[in-house]
Amino acid sequence: MKAYAALALLLICFAFADSLLHLQPASEKDRQFARAIFEQLIDIDTSHTAGSITRASAEMRQRFLDAGFSENDVSLVGPNERKQNLVVRYRGRGSQKPILIVGHLDVVDAKPSDWTMDPFHFVEKDGFFYGRGTQDMKDGDAILVTDLIRLRREGYQPDRDLILALTADEENGPDDGVAWLVKNRRELLNADFAINADSGGVELDHGRPLVVGVEAAEKLYADYELTVSDRGGHSSLPHTGNPIFHLAAALDRLEHSPFPLSLTLSLAAIFLGLPLAFLRRMLPRFTGFCRNHRILQRLKCSRTTCTTTPCCARRVCLLDSGVDTPITHSPRLLPLTSTAGYYLGTLQKRFVRISSTFLPTRVLR
């Protein structure tokens, strides 16, 4: 369902770009086409640890070539053989600068042992889609690919180029596709503004658009590793100063020390229902009120948080008594099981980062 909502969203975006285009529901054939691409993407492991972005990019590139796009307009580019990004240019009349639409192809790692089914095999069951990336964001990728192919088939010519970038390493990994493209192939991305399709979207009620969600900010996170050392010894002659207990006590204190509420303008606008421009003027005067607001206080998601998570790409520290156990989960995920090896501290330090999601931030001028 979310997939079809995103389709509607993109069409709405195009409608804004060219008021001549009216919102039309996708045909059953187009829906089936989108679904086939969706399934194709889910069946490709694009996780950082074991997957290949290049395979997904190459298969989508072939879709565009089969639909008649020129080889010059479908570029497979990236830093290494596993992390190739796909940049597609849909030619318009060129009377304005292009619009860039961004989607990521990678997914968070998924350990099959944590799943009740294969995370890299698409399943539709009882009205639900299963598989890593069904929500974030291969559904959106499939729709973006489908939309461009459909628009071309229907002979739509926008007043400007539309650029689609499907990228690597948004979730994990060192080869952030957007950053790599901006640094190394900027000419492929130059645009009037960018739309990041990773968040927000249209909510439908029986096919009727109800709400267009726009993301104005996103939480940042930071990892902190806590290590306690001691002189060691033999367990038959115990002494005070066991570092495991010290670390456990420190983590316990962290858990019971809630961080203060960090209120941002966009958060205040959402929960207080007041216009952003008004809040920008008035917020300094109301900061105390907002901090004590009953509803805001209850919202854990609105505050800076601190939690323990597994550690990514590091060795589990002293609580494993020196046993090197690589943990491959994303450090942003909460642990499914808890062993001593998971006692690594993660402090969420700052709250707001302005993202360009669905905002014409004109960052690429």
Among 99, 110, 198, 317, binds Zn ion (CB under 5 A): 198
Q: List the x/- string, 144-183, binding to Zn ion by CB under 5 A.
A: ----------------------------------------
| Distance between CA atoms of residues 22 and 43, nearest Å | 34
Residue numbers 22-81 binding Zn ion by CB under 5 A = none
- Which region, judged by CB under 5 A, interacts with Zn ion, from 66-74, 192-200, 236-244, 296-304? 192-200
Which residues are registered as beta bridge partners of 201? 213
Q: State in angstroms the smallest separation of the CB of 319 from Zn ion.
A: 32
Which residues are registered as beta bridge partners of 102? 165, 196
Q: State in angstroms the smallest separation of the CB of 177 from Zn ion.
A: 12
Residue numbers 100-139 binding Zn ion by CB under 5 A = 136-137
* 3-class DSSP string for 89-156: EECCCCCCCCEEEEEECCECCCCHHHCCCCCCCCEEECCEEECCCCCCCHHHHHHHHHHHHHHHHCCC
Q: How far is CA 177 from the centre of its chain?
A: 13
- The residue among 294, 226, 298 whose CA lies nearest residue 258 is 298
- CA 21, 24, 29, 35 dihedral sign is positive
Nearer to Zn ion, 47 or 308 (CB): 47
Furthest CA-CA distance within the chain: 82
Nearer to Zn ion, 109 or 198 (CB): 198
Nearer to Zn ion, 139 or 161 (CB): 139
Nearer to Zn ion, 105 or 263 (CB): 105
Residue numbers 290-309 binding Zn ion by CB under 5 A = none
| Beta pairing, strands 85-90 & 162-167 | antiparallel
For Zn ion (CB under 5 A), the number of binding residues is 3
Q: State in angstroms the smallest separation of the CB of 200 from Zn ion.
A: 11
Token pair, residue 46, equals 């694009």
- Which region, judged by CB under 5 A, interacts with Zn ion, from 54-62, 193-201, 270-278, 338-346? 193-201
Q: Which residues make up the interface to Zn ion (CB under 5 A)? A: 136-137, 198
